[in-house]
């Protein structure tokens, strides 16, 4: 069994940040679960375009308000506590945080923790994370 405390991990190298978001990786690839599990906070006023071409991702809103736009269809959905979205088509999307958005995210395949967003909004495939 694995038991971890967000409040301890947030001050370790399992917390990855850029200027507009921070993500605490509760589970990573080397935990052997087949998915990774992150608590990601997107800061109020920020907007993010991501395109996880090599991963499936589901995201559950714990707190905050914002919106997600599916860039293929142009549809926009409100994000608020209780709402989940799943990028089952590797959907390219824009997330807008009107307030700090705290999201619980699962990635399949799991991220290793070393990925950085590439120009196209993706993370590299699992077996080439360092590329």
Q: Which residues bind ligand 9YT (CB under 6 A)?
A: 21, 23, 38, 40, 50, 59, 95, 103, 105
Smallest distance, ligand 9YT to C-beta of residue 37, A: 9
In the bound state, the residue with its beta carbon closest to ligand 9YT is 23
| CB closer to ligand 9YT, 2 vs 122 | 122
Quickly list DSSP for 1-47: -----HHHHTTSTTEEE-SSEEEEEEE-GGG-SSSEEEEEEE-TT-E
Smallest distance, ligand 9YT to C-beta of residue 131, A: 16
Q: Burial of 27 by CB count in 10 Å (0-12 exposed, 13-18 middle, 19+ buried)?
A: buried
Smallest distance, ligand 9YT to C-beta of residue 92, A: 12
How far apart are the C-alpha atoms of 73 and 98, rounded to whole Å? 22
| CB closer to ligand 9YT, 1 vs 117 | 117
| CB closer to ligand 9YT, 1 vs 61 | 61
| CB closer to ligand 9YT, 40 vs 69 | 40
Q: How far apart, in Å, are the Cα atoms of 34 and each of 20, 51, 108? A: 28, 20, 7
How far apart are the C-alpha atoms of 7 and 1, rounded to whole Å? 19
Smallest distance, ligand 9YT to C-beta of residue 17, A: 10
């Amino acid at each position: 069994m694995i038991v971890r405390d967000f409040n301890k991990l947030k001050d370790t190298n399992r917390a990855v940040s850029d200027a507009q978001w921070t993500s605490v990786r509760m589970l990573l690839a080397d935990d052997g679960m087949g998915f990774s599990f992150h608590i990601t906070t997107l800061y109020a006023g920020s907007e993010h375009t991501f395109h996880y071409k090599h991963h499936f991702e589901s995201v559950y809103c714990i707190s905050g308000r914002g919106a997600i736009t599916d860039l293929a269809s142009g549809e926009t959905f409100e994000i608020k506590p209780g709402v989940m979205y799943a990028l089952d088509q590797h959907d390219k999307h824009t997330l807008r945080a009107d307030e700090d958005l705290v999201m619980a995210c699962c990635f399949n395949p799991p991220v290793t923790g070393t990925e950085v967003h590439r120009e196209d909004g993706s993370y590299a495939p699992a077996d080439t994370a360092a590329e």
